[in-house]
Amino acid sequence: MFACLYVPPSPVRRVVPAAASGTDDARLVDIARMVSPRIDARSGNQVVLDVQGLERLVGDARAIGERLRREASDRGITPVHVAIAGTRTAAMLLAAARAGVTVVAPGGEADALAPLPLRTLAALADGIEDRRQKAEDRRQNSEARRPNGGRGFSPGGHVEAKASTSISDPPPQGGTPNPESRVPSPDCLAVLARWGLHTLGELAALPPVELSERLGQDGIRWQRLARGEDTGPLVPAKEEEPFESSLELEWPVEDLEPLSFVLSRLLDPLCTRLEYRDRGAAALHLRLRLVTRALHLRSLQLPAPMRDPKVLRTLMLLDLEAHPAPAGIDAVTVAIDPTPGRIVQESLLTRALPAPELISTLVARLQALMGEGRCGSPATVDSYRPGAFTMTPFVVHQNEGRSQKSEGRSQKPEEVVRSQYSVASRRSPEPRELAPSAKSLAPGLAPSLRRFRIPIPAHVLIDNGRPLSVRTDRQALSGGHVRTAAGPWRTSGEWWKTAAVTGAAAGATPGAGASSSQSRRAGWNRDEWDVTLSDGGVYRIFEDRETGRWFVEAIVD
């Protein structure tokens, strides 16, 4: 016996926002799951469930139908049609055509369907296409709703949740094409109407051979549907399995060490389940209920799917070390966003790169040691500001080594040197030739700067526009007389930007104009020199043209 819950489209329901219709899907599924574990969510407004064996629990078929209608009504889903029949097809057609609760005894499906109009078959076509579109819409909506996710609590701290899958998204139903989706199109229905066929019974009464000669196998299929015959078994939808675990503590926990045991106890079974389902954790969510009744929420976005409980526990502890809970912890909840496990194909010819789990743990430990934002990969920025750079997360791409190794091998040393100069010539687009004397020596290096993030103030004696001596008040950087000097090179930029600063900080950053105590220009305007001093060092110094002050910016090494 099968039951079908059907919510008919109506003008009133069209004004309901899309979010509410998405909720109706979930409510229909919930109602069906209350009664039976074998359900098939056909579309947003139709759910089919197997009610075989529920007579002893609920009652006869009409009692089952009344219960379903009552549950739907209690949840605000009205109107709703309920039909119970011996086949799924008959239940769906009867629910689409008749209001209220319809019960058909097994064996009487054909007679019950006979008077229904042919257009009722269109209710079966709402299955696959609408379901796929709605699944895609739900997936897009869930990604747009992040980082709140669908878990019932909002993560705190740094949240960059972008899980590839969401537990709250029901998966698309039916992995294989459903023959029932191939129902008569409106044109076919018009042809059938011209033939004088208006009801399902008339279609069912046609001789099959002649029908197949005119309409092919589709005609035979439609005839079977008109008789209420199923073309395949019910494929029950898998219930979404939340990867979430909670534990109430007998007494509050304040330190990380006892908390680590709690996290191990929660993560071990979750990771085992992930392994059984060939899933990895894309994101970790931790909810700590404190003794003050407040919630301390943390979320970790993982660079690659992981399911090693020790690694996940270490990452959580390192994160809590940087963002500790303000009070004792009463309850711990761990939730995991699952994602399919990754498949890595290693190469025998290149060195194996470290696993993302190892890199994640290493970077987390380094950040705990050196501070947030002090570890990662450097990146240049599109700016002429001296020393401009940005930090990016250090991520290992597993398939890079193989493709890039040939690049490194094919480059000859001379080409490497030449490319260094081409990169260095950012400000002089013309290709630069090496000086003849340099070619006679061993292959050269691209000189590197050791840059002071905050330039060091210097006292520079000037004679005829050239620096004579450079002195600072810093240990190991006393300076000396200028032996050789190259320059000046004038550089300026970002004159249009201003930075609002307090009076104490105004003008603290050299190279920027301090026009007022309330705001200062964020740009720079300087004359740079490269000098060799008597202490043997080669330095880059500059004069801030706004203030006339000199600074040591870098050491050439």
Partner 1 sequence: MPATCRADVEALLRAKKLDRTLVPVTGTSGIAIAPEMVSTGLPLLNQQLGGGIPMGQFSEVVGPRSSGRTSLLAALLATVTARGELAALVDTFDVFDVESLAAAGVRLDRLLWVRGEPSTSAFPPLTNGRRQPGADRSIARALKAMNLILQAGGMSVVALDLADAPLQALRRIPMTTWLRLQKVVEGQQTAAVVTGTVPMSRSAGGVTLALARDSGLGTRGSEDRRNSGFGARDSGAGAIESEVRIQRARLIPGMSGLPVRLTAAALVA
Which 517-546 residues touch partner 1, going by CB under 8 A? 527, 530-532, 535-538
Shortest spacing between CB 449 and partner 1, in angstroms: 4
Beta bridge partners of 463: 466
What span, in angstroms and rounded, lies between the C-alpha atoms of 23 and 28? Answer: 9
What span, in angstroms and rounded, lies between the C-alpha atoms of 447 and 433? Answer: 16
In 169-302, alpha helices (H): 186-194, 200-204, 208-226, 256-276
The reply on whether position 392 binds partner 1 by CB under 8 A is yes
Parallel/antiparallel/unpaired status of strands 101-103 and 81-85: parallel
The reply on whether position 370 binds partner 1 by CB under 8 A is yes
Q: Residue 53 or 431: which CB sits closer to partner 1? A: 431
Residues composing the chain:
557
The reply on whether position 235 binds partner 1 by CB under 8 A is no
Shortest spacing between CB 22 and partner 1, in angstroms: 40
The reply on whether position 52 binds partner 1 by CB under 8 A is no
Q: Report yes or no: 523 and 414 within 8 Å, Cβ to Cβ.
A: no
Question: Which parts of 286-315 interact with partner 1 (CB under 8 A)?
Answer: none
What span, in angstroms and rounded, lies between the C-alpha atoms of 230 and 179? Answer: 10
Q: Residue 293 or 409: which CB sits closer to partner 1? A: 409
For 501, the token pair is: 């600063």
- Out of 89, 102, 299, 361, which residue is the one contacting partner 1 (CB under 8 A)? 361
Question: Which parts of 237-276 interact with partner 1 (CB under 8 A)?
Answer: none
Task: Give me the residue label for tokens 């789990």.
Answer: 357
What span, in angstroms and rounded, lies between the C-alpha atoms of 252 and 329? Answer: 5
- Out of 9, 117, 443, 503, which residue is the one contacting partner 1 (CB under 8 A)? 443
DSSP string of 179-200? GGG-PPPHHHHHHHHHTT--BH
The reply on whether position 349 binds partner 1 by CB under 8 A is no
- Out of 8, 172, 328, 376, which residue is the one contacting partner 1 (CB under 8 A)? 376
How many residues sit in the footprint of partner 1 (CB under 8 A)? 97
Burial readout 149-172 (b: 16 or more C-beta within 10 A, e: otherwise) = bebeeebeeebebebeebbbbbeb
The reply on whether position 153 binds partner 1 by CB under 8 A is no
Q: Residue 19 or 349: which CB sits closer to partner 1? A: 349
What span, in angstroms and rounded, lies between the C-alpha atoms of 524 and 509? Answer: 10
Question: Which parts of 457-476 interact with partner 1 (CB under 8 A)?
Answer: 465-466, 472-476
Q: Residue 119 or 365: which CB sits closer to partner 1? A: 365
Q: Residue 205 or 366: which CB sits closer to partner 1? A: 366
Q: Residue 119 or 405: which CB sits closer to partner 1? A: 405
- Out of 196, 238, 453, 463, which residue is the one contacting partner 1 (CB under 8 A)? 453
Q: How many CA atoms lie within 13 A of 285 on its CB side?
A: 30
Shortest spacing between CB 546 and partner 1, in angstroms: 17
The reply on whether position 133 binds partner 1 by CB under 8 A is no
Q: In the chain, what is the greatest distance between 2 CA atoms, to the nearest angstrom?
A: 112
From residue 283, alpha-carbon distances to 273, 298, 309 in Å are 16, 11, 13
Q: Residue 434 or 461: which CB sits closer to partner 1? A: 434
The reply on whether position 557 binds partner 1 by CB under 8 A is yes
Q: Residue 139 or 418: which CB sits closer to partner 1? A: 418
Question: Which parts of 393-412 interact with partner 1 (CB under 8 A)?
Answer: 394-396, 400-405, 407-409, 411
The reply on whether position 505 binds partner 1 by CB under 8 A is no
Shortest spacing between CB 533 and partner 1, in angstroms: 8
Q: How far is CA 23 from the centre of its chain?
A: 22
